[in-house]
Structure 1
Amino acid sequence: MAGNTPIGNLQLSAATYFTGSSFIQLQKVCEAMQLQIFQYDTFRRHARNYMEPAIVHKWKMDQQHHFQQQLSLGGSVAVGGDMRADSPGHSAKFGSYSLMNLESNTIMDIQLVQSNEVGGSYHMEKEGLKRCLDHLEANGFKADYIVTDRHPQIQKYLRERNITQFYDVWHFEKGLSKKLEKASHKEDILKKWLQSIKNHVYWCATSSTTGPEKVAKWTSLLNHLQNVHDHEDPLFPKCLHPERASRDPNKWLQPGSVALHKAEKLLLNKRVLKDVAKLSHHHQTSSLESFHSLILRFAPKNVVFPFMGMLCRLYLASMHHNENASRVQATTSAGQAVYKVVYPKAKMGEGVVKPVKTDPTFNYVHDLMRLLMEVFEDPTSFDEEMKTIPIPPDLSAENTRTPKAELVARHVSRFNLEVV
């Protein structure tokens, strides 16, 4: 006991919170085993008074340490940015914008935005990016360039802020592939070229360094589909593959055909050409997408969290990701690299080989458990740090609440069987 607080109860609450677990599920396990456990209100009191201040303090200390390391290498940094909403569609309550250092694959900053702060969920992504960039600039950083998806508001905002923007290749390829698959339903010859067109997207981006060069390689695709391998653009006058006679002349698209018209309409429209010129030729945001999947372990979308609870769980996910961002591939006792075979739904039964990483570590949890006792013994300075975080009012606070007695009085069941 420490005062009136059982230390075991405090440690159980902290271990549950810091590992991203659910107290409700823990409570069900204990009830099934007929074990006595404290109530949820006690867990929330522990979280509010001790655990959340410890999480916020550790994240800020880790972030400042990362900033100092990066500043020693130079104040310019290549970043990737993307937003994750807590629910699909345009009805999200929270939007978290993550900014990742693409050189080290570590989260530099993460900002949580509530929809009523910006007038709707559609505007959360722009506000999250603005807060992230402002925070970086306040700490002496300048974004060398940023890799994002093709959100229209983000494009305009970065253009006004004079920050170079590149598009993530996977997001571009995904959108284009959907249109190509829809167009190829009645065109079997175009369907045979879908995988080659997807590969060409990545090749154009990674083998080029300038926008015009990417566009020149991309526009050569339409000639290639017709078995024409010499092109008019001087930046890419000829295909690089070896010349060889085709064994199946029917695989090529014929001039004037419906398939060629559909391909030209999709591949060479103005927006596609404009986007191809801005494809990222170096870094992508795949690690950022993996981080968003990791957040589900700490903040599932089917669970409602208060603002501070969601923010702290995002910080926990960031700490876990940063600690394990540089894991290497596992090896056997003989020194051979370990792989696993997975069968993604999109591959239609075709297996894909993926490297197996070494086991993750959880040193940040041990550090938080030690820090917890410091907060418990003297919470004053930690409470002051918590007060610097602005917490927006709940969404329900904007509306007038009807008294419970009035709601009960006018409640009528739709399945009332009384005779009319």
Structure 2
Amino acid sequence: MNFCYRLSEDEDVHLTFVMVEKKKLVNLFSQCPVCSSEASLRENCSGSLLTIHQLCDNDSCQFKRVWKSQEQLSRGTSEGNIAISNAIFMSGSSPAKALKMFKFMGMHVISYAAYMQHQKTFIIPSVDYIYDEEKAACMARVAGHSLTLSGDGRLDAFYHTTVVFFKSNETGGSSYMEKEGLRRCLASVMQSATVKELVTDRHPQIRKYLRDECPEVKHSFDTWHIAKGIILIYLSLFPWLMIEKEIIRLVKEKGL
């Protein structure tokens, strides 16, 4: 599991974690490194962070030290604990299932509440910071240019995407959110660039908004949405084609 956080503009630190059986690790501290006498140990786990307090049993030596399996960060957490939360969040995994998997393995991990706290305190602010940074760099690259844009108000590809966050009650209902998202995106882009063409689906509110409010922008329709609409009409007229399509899929899946 790798986790990267930025120290400065010129330096990145990559953390690599390995799985070690706790008994094997504790055995490394069973003897005093100074006089080789037996040592007393006190262990404590905070999530994935293991802290070992070692004290030499030899009265004439009395060597002692505190060893931590990870670097401890501010706000009472550690690199490994943040890395677990970050990996769950970035992979899109279910936190409850991921943490349960670790517990079934017998691994010391963070709690669900700790994950939610890390998400709120560290991960989301980091995502927002990088997003704002990348957005500013992108807008700087297109400043003064004439652009052809495409977009959709629903789920689309992860790349070449502009994200606008707002609540449905800001628009008078969820049915108006797509138009409001477009309005805000265009307003943001047009602060530094010119939009000559916009490619969208055939959403009625989008068409009316562009016709009334942005007549200078050429509005084109996405061919994928048009083709999809034609296919749905065709299948509604000839429903048995859906059965044939499913039979073909099953034949290919079974290798018949």
State the TM bucket, normalised to the shorter chain. Answer: 0.5 to 0.7
SS at match of 2:134: helix
- CA RMSD in angstroms comes to 2.8
For 2:183 and 2:157, the matched residues in 1 are separated by: 11
1:164 pairs, out of 193, 215, 218, with 218
Provide the secondary structure at the position in 1 that maps to 2:164: strand
Shift in Å, 1:346 = 7.1
Say if 1:106 and 1:347 are closer, same or farther in 2 by CA, change over 3 A: farther
Structure 2 counterpart of 1:174: 228
* C-alpha distance in 2 between matches for 1:125 and 1:179: 24
Bigger RCO (CA 8 Å, 6+ sep)? 1
Aligned partners of 1:114 and 1:30: how far apart in 2? Answer: 36
* Distance across 2 between alignment mates of 1:170 and 1:347: 25
* Counterpart residue identity of residue 228, structure 2: K
Counterpart position of 2:93: 21
Q: Residues 204-247 of structure 1: CA distance to partner in whole angstroms, max 9, x if unpaired?
A: xxxxxxxxxxxxxxxxxxxxxxxxxxxxxxxxxxxxxxxxxxxx
Greater share of residues in helix = 1
- SS of structure 2 residue aligned to 1:10: helix
Match of 1:128 in 2: 181
Q: Give 1:83 shift.
A: 1.2
Q: Matched residues in 1 for 2:126 and 2:226: separation?
A: 40
Give 1:114 deviation, angstroms: 2.5
Residues 56 and 173 (structure 1 numbering): CA distance in 2 closer, same or farther, change over 3 Å? same
Q: Offset of 1:35 from its aligned partner?
A: 2.1
Q: Find the counterpart in structure 2 of residue 62 from structure 1.
A: 134
Q: How far, CA to CA, are the matches of 1:155 and 1:99 in structure 2?
A: 22
Q: Which residue of 2 is the match for residue 334 of structure 1? A: none
Partner of 1:80: 150
Equivalent residue for 1:42?
Answer: 114
**Residue 13 and residue 65 in structure 1: after superposition, are their counterparts in 2 closer, same or farther (change >3 A)?**
same
Distance across 2 between alignment mates of 1:11 and 1:182: 50
- 1:8-407 maps to which residues of 2 (within 5 A)? 8-71=80-143, 74-84=144-154, 106-107=160-161, 109-138=162-191, 140-160=192-212, 161-162=214-215, 163-184=217-238, 348-349=248-249
Contact in 2 for aligned 1:16/1:23 (Cα 8 Å) = yes
Rate the CA distance shift 1:172–1:2 in 2: closer, same or farther, 3 A. Answer: closer
Gap regions ≥5 residues in structure 2: 1-71
Contact preservation (8 Å) 1:13, 1:46: yes
- Structure 1 residue 5: deviation in Å? 2.1
Q: Which has the larger radius of gyration?
A: 2
TM-score (norm 2): 0.60
Give the length in aligned residue pairs: 174
Q: Secondary structure at the match of 1:13?
A: helix
Counterpart residue identity of residue 64, structure 1: A
Aligned to 2:166, what secondary structure does the other structure show? strand
Q: In structure 2, do the counterparts of structure 1 residues 2 and 346 end up closer, same or farther at CA, with 3 Å as the change threshold?
A: same
Q: Which residue of 1 aligns with 2:15?
A: none
TM-superposed CA distance for 1:347, in Å, is: 9.3
1:2 maps onto 2:56 in alignment: no
Partners in 1 of 2:224 and 2:119 — Cα distance? 39
The code of the aligned residue for 1:24 comes to: A
Whole-angstrom distance in 1 between the partners of 2:239 and 2:98:
50
Question: So what's the TM-score if we normalise by structure 1?
Answer: 0.38
Identity of aligned residues (%): 29
